Amino acid sequence: MEELDPLARIPEPIKHTAARIEDWIHEQREANALRTGRLPALVAYPGYGGDGWVRVLARVLLVQPGAERSVHYENVRGWRSFTSISLNDVDVTIEANGQRHVVVADRGGVVDAIVPFRLEPGWQEVTLSVAGSLPVAAPVFVVDPATRFGIVSDIDDTVMVTSLPRPLLAAWNAFVLDEHGRQPVPGMAVLYERIAREHPGSPFVYLSTGAWNAAPALTRFLSRNLYPAGSMLLTDWGPTHDRFFRSGKDHKREELRRLAREFPQIRWLLVGDDGQHDEEIYGEFANAHPDSVRAVAIRELSAQEAVLAGGRKHSETRSMHPWVWSPNGGGLAKELGAIPELHVL
């Protein structure tokens, strides 16, 4: 892992015109919300950590008085979560084991910070607070330094059936998503639970191009359908500092590279589907970081799902690692189990 000051404030880059417009809109909404008496509230997302550090993920919002408890906000879903008002560039205090660090929420109110806490392996909690808000507990999965295996899993059409045209998927996840209206991919929860039993203490990371607005609904979906608890790496909605709209492919590439740096001892099972760019992204990563990959498992879409996805996106970018394909979790389990040297199942 790179030896960087995790709390250093990096100078803000020159912004794209769309980002400046978005910032101006956020400033107007934030100022109006504060004038009308709205209060800060923190929404914590599952993070992860290693030996002597944790990555904390959360978002700071402005809510009506009486709605500042995070448990209240997490019952809000769909378009209401998208229209929430973020509180930008605000100091957030993170505490654990009697230690305290202050980080700054970004221009979307998102907290994504590495903090130097030394916590025991397994699921732990750190406490987040911002001036004027109630403190909330943020779950973090601390990986034991002896761990050598983990899973990175896509969400849409890998663990959750979307049955939507790809051009509408991002909008659905941001505006409409209700976890009750989604079905799990057959056999995937059983496969993941078997892997979790076979490799206790291994991290599960759910990596998606979805927006943080959908995180509470996605977390409830995973829990309700008995998927192993894991950290969630989503992205923010809207323009970045250098482009009109953020790239989901770049988000996945950057997070995979980051996991390889943070956990050089872990070899990951990469799970995705053939309806987006997972094969291409996983193949590139496996070739660039061969020691960070155990195998690649691709869920094949049904004919109907493939039509909605705009066809299957088979990629020629492969690696020398084992690759398996199947339309469901049971088939992937059979394929993975047929390669005993993998020691996955």
Delineate the domains of the chain, giving CATH numbers in brackets.
17-142 (2.60.40.10), 149-342 (3.40.50.1000)
Q: How many residues does the chain have?
A: 345
Mean pLDDT score, 60-87:
60
Half-sphere exposure of 268 (CA within 13 A, CB side): 29
**125, two tokens:** 């909690």
pLDDT at position 10 over 50: no
Residue 76: its pLDDT value, please? Answer: 46
Give the C-alpha separation, 281 to 266, whole Å: 18
State the chain's maximal CA–CA distance in angstroms.
63
Please give the average per-residue pLDDT across 110-125, as a whole number.
Answer: 96
pLDDT, greater one: 31 or 216: 216
pTM: 0.83
Residue 325: pLDDT over 70: yes
Among the residue ranges 22-26, 248-252, 265-269, the one predicted with the least confidence is 22-26
Neighbour count for residue 287 (Cβ, 10 Å)? 14
- Share of the chain residues as helix, strand and coil, in percent rounded to the nearest 5: 30, 30, 40
> Which of 207, 210, 209 has the alpha carbon at shortest distance from 175?
210
Distance between CA atoms of residues 291 and 51, nearest Å: 20
Position of tokens 């997490």? 74
The rounded distance, in Å, linking the Cα atoms of 154 and 274 is 11
Confidence of residue 114 (pLDDT cuts 50, 70, 90): very high
- Quote the CA–CA distance of 125 and 122 in Å, as a whole number: 10
d(CA 60, CA 42): 5
Of the listed ranges 125-129, 259-263, 303-307, 325-329, the least confidently predicted one is 303-307
Whole-number pLDDT of residue 316: 63
- What's at 153, amino acid-wise? S
Region 82-107: what's the mean pLDDT? 88
Q: What integer pLDDT is reported at residue 107 of this predicted model?
A: 78
φ/ψ region of 39 (left if φ > 0, alpha if ψ in -120 to 50, else beta) reads beta
- Predicted confidence band of residue 31 (pLDDT cuts 50, 70, 90): low
**Span 110-130, average pLDDT:** 96
Residue 32: per-residue pLDDT: 65
Supply the pLDDT for residue 244: 40
Q: Give the pLDDT confidence of 221-232 residue by residue, as tens digits.
A: 899 999 999 999
Higher pLDDT, 332 or 156: 332
Q: How confident is the model at residue 3 (pLDDT cuts 50, 70, 90)?
A: very low
pLDDT tens-place string over residues 205-223: 999 988 887 788 888 889 9
pLDDT in tens, 166-204: 555 555 555 555 555 678 999 999 999 999 999 999 999
Given a cut of 90, is residue 303 above it in pLDDT? Answer: no
Which tokens belong to 38? 């709205």
Quick check: 232 and 206 in contact, CB under 8 A?
yes
**pLDDT at position 306:** 54
Tokens of 338: 């047929």
Burial 234-244 (b: 16+ CB within 10 A, else e): bbbbbbbeeee
More reliable by pLDDT, 8 or 275: 275
d(CA 154, CA 173): 14
Residue of 285, 301, 45, 336 lying closest to 160 (CA atoms): 301
What tokens does 36 get? 């009308």
User: How far apart are the C-alpha atoms of 140 and 137, rounded to whole Å?
Assistant: 10
Please tell me whether residue 162 adopts helix, strand or coil conformation: coil
Cα–Cα distance, 187 to 177 (Å, whole number) = 22
Helices within the chain (DSSP H only): 17-35, 70-73, 79-82, 166-175, 188-198, 215-224, 248-262, 278-288, 303-308, 329-337
User: Residue 215 has what pLDDT?
Assistant: 84
Confidence of residue 149 (pLDDT cuts 50, 70, 90): very high
Average pLDDT over residues 122-146: 95
Position 101 scores a pLDDT of 97
Give the per-residue pLDDT at 235: 86
How far, in Å, CA of 241 to CA of 13, rounded? Answer: 7
